[in-house]
Amino acid sequence: MEQPTFKLVTIEDYDRIKSLWHRAGLQSRLKGRDSFVMMQQQMEANPDLFIGAFSDDRMIGFVIGSFDGRLKGWINRLSVDPEYRRLGIAQELIARVEEALEKRGITLFCALIESSNIESLNLFRKIGYVPHDDILYVSRRKSQDI
């Protein structure tokens, strides 16, 4: 296999992103924060936080970085095409998005992982993220689409 290339993606890649999420089995909120309009706004605000991995012209990996007002960085929507897994693509995407977040002064990186997602848990553990078994994620949704 050719070495994957990594580059910023734009809203022009929206259909390819959706297709990758589908292939990767990642749940997305296409009527909410993953909609075309919302993604376009997010990309315009922080274009360097949307990074794709490509084999030729095929998108085989993707990640979104985000941050909150207290300088905590988040790794979101990480996905790798099933045909290209265990090649270090996710690790490279995370490294690149962490670097972009660090340029904003962010040095604390976090991710939300479903407890049954062993692949992702192993991945984050491998690169130094520490699970917090004593913390429960709670949320209140004004809409199921968000």
Ligand X SMILES: CC(C)(COP(=O)(O)OP(=O)(O)OC[C@H]1O[C@@H](n2cnc3c(N)ncnc32)[C@H](O)[C@@H]1OP(=O)(O)O)[C@@H](O)C(=O)NCCC(=O)NCCS
89 binds ligand X (CB under 6 A): yes
Q: Is 46 in the site for ligand X (CB under 6 A)?
A: no
Give the span between the Cα atoms of 103 and 146, in whole angstroms. 28
CA distance 35 to 30: 4
The pair phi, psi for residue 109, each rounded to 5°, is -115, 140
Told to check if 143 binds ligand X by CB under 6 A, we report no
Q: Which of 6, 46, 111, 129 binds ligand X (CB under 6 A)?
A: 111
Q: For residue 89, what are its two tokens?
A: 């693509």
Q: Does 90 bind ligand X (CB under 6 A)?
A: yes
Rounded to an integer, what distance in angstroms lies between the CA atom of residue 88 and that of residue 82? 13
Does residue 79 touch ligand X according to CB under 6 A?
Answer: yes
Say whether residue 88 binds ligand X (CB under 6 A).
Answer: yes
**Residue 20 near ligand X by CB under 6 A:** no
120 binds ligand X (CB under 6 A): yes
Stretch that binds ligand X, among 4-12, 21-29, 37-45, 131-139 (CB under 6 A): 21-29
- What's the token pair of residue 13? 């890649």
What 8-state DSSP symbol labels residue 49? G
Q: In the numeric block, which tokens belong to residue 136? A: 């429960």
* Contact residues for ligand X, defined by CB under 6 A: 24-26, 78-80, 85-91, 111, 113, 117-120, 122-123, 126
